[in-house]
Amino acid sequence: MKQSLAIVTGAGRGIGKAIAQRLKEDGFHLLIADLDAKAGAQAALELDARFVKCNVGEENSVVQLFKAADKTGLSIDVVVNNAGIIRDGVIWKLDSRDFDLVINVNLRGTWLMCREAAIRMRQQGFGHIINIASRAWLGNPGQTNYSASKAGVIGLTRALALELAGKGVSVNAVAPGLIDTPMTQNLPEQVRQKLINSQPGKNMGSAKDVAEAVAFLASEKNRFITGQVIHVDGGKSIGSLAF
């Protein structure tokens, strides 16, 4: 097998860690990037991965991450842009800093990562970029900042898919719905229950459910899918109520 490197951001815990684990099972070498040095280093130890502390919202930090990836001498075949944050609240209670922060990490961070990935992948004539969006891109009350950031990620995904279509590089988005991770475990219990009850199947997904979709898009099996959004959300994005 080719010596392929997969970079996964925000892989210190939650969905990113599950994605890294799943890609490892498929034989990829791993480079884990996370803002949280402790969690990232621990995940890297568990997954026998390389770790680079990185803030995806900072240009120089992203450039350094890719320099570290270049140094491995491996082919950067997969980049999963998973790092993301929430700062929820109805718009009349939000500070503009909550908007800037969420846009900076979720959208600008994904764009910075995509640019470094694109520079390398178009040159090598191969690669898969997978951006982790959210079902919230369709609109969620209390998440004007987050929904805007994730809708932006989908626009970015579609535009970049066109730019790289003739270069052997796919660019897709995976949009998770309600997934059981520290991000959702930290929500007030009342809010969590409300969200579960609003699911068509009254259930939550697991980080592994998301990882399976990412693994397919990152695999050799994905030859002809690009610019798409795969919802992993138990049907929530359909919009109608179940029986």
Handedness of CA 29, 31, 37, 39 (dihedral sign): negative
Kind and range of the H or E run holding 165: none
HSE-CB at 40 with a 13 A cutoff on CA atoms is 19
| Choice among 43, 47, 146, 179 that is catalytic | 146
Closest distance to ligand NAI from the beta carbon of 97 (Å): 15
Q: List Cα–Cα distances, 113 to 29, 196, 211, in angstroms.
A: 18, 32, 19
In this structure, the number of other CB atoms found within 10 A of the CB of residue 236 comes to 22
Closest distance to ligand NAI from the beta carbon of 227 (Å): 19
Closest distance to ligand NAI from the beta carbon of 134 (Å): 3
**194-213 binders of ligand NAI (CB under 6 A):** none
Using CB under 6 A as the binding rule, whether residue 15 contacts ligand NAI is answered as yes
Nearest CA to 77 out of 170, 10, 211 is that of 170
**Among residues 6, 7, 8, 9, the one that binds ligand NAI under rule CB under 6 A:** 9
Asked about 146 being catalytic, the answer comes back as yes
Both structure tokens of 173 = 């988005």
**Among residues 144, 170, 181, 226, the one that binds ligand NAI under rule CB under 6 A:** 181
Using CB under 6 A as the binding rule, whether residue 139 contacts ligand NAI is answered as no
Q: How far apart are CA 108 and CA 207, in angstroms?
A: 24
Segment interacting with ligand NAI, rule: CB under 6 A, options 30-38, 63-71, 72-80, 222-230: 30-38
**31-50 binders of ligand NAI (CB under 6 A):** 34-36, 39
Q: Where are the alpha helices (DSSP H) in 26-178?
A: 37-47, 59-71, 96-102, 109-124, 144-164
184 versus 219: smaller Cβ distance to ligand NAI: 184
**Among residues 138, 183, 187, 225, the one that binds ligand NAI under rule CB under 6 A:** 183
Closest distance to ligand NAI from the beta carbon of 127 (Å): 20
Whether residue 198 contacts residue 133, with contact meaning beta carbons closer than 8 Å, is answered with no
In this structure, the number of other CB atoms found within 10 A of the CB of residue 123 comes to 10
Nearest CA to 146 out of 190, 194, 104 is that of 104
Using CB under 6 A as the binding rule, whether residue 179 contacts ligand NAI is answered as yes
φ, ψ (nearest 5 deg) of residue 88: -85, 155
Closest distance to ligand NAI from the beta carbon of 125 (Å): 28
Pseudo-torsion of CA 211, 217, 221, 226, nearest 10°? 170
76 versus 207: smaller Cβ distance to ligand NAI: 207
Contacts with ligand NAI by CB under 6 A lie at 9-10, 12-16, 34-36, 39, 54-57, 82-85, 105, 109, 132, 134, 176, 178-179, 181-184
Q: Which residues are catalytic?
A: 146
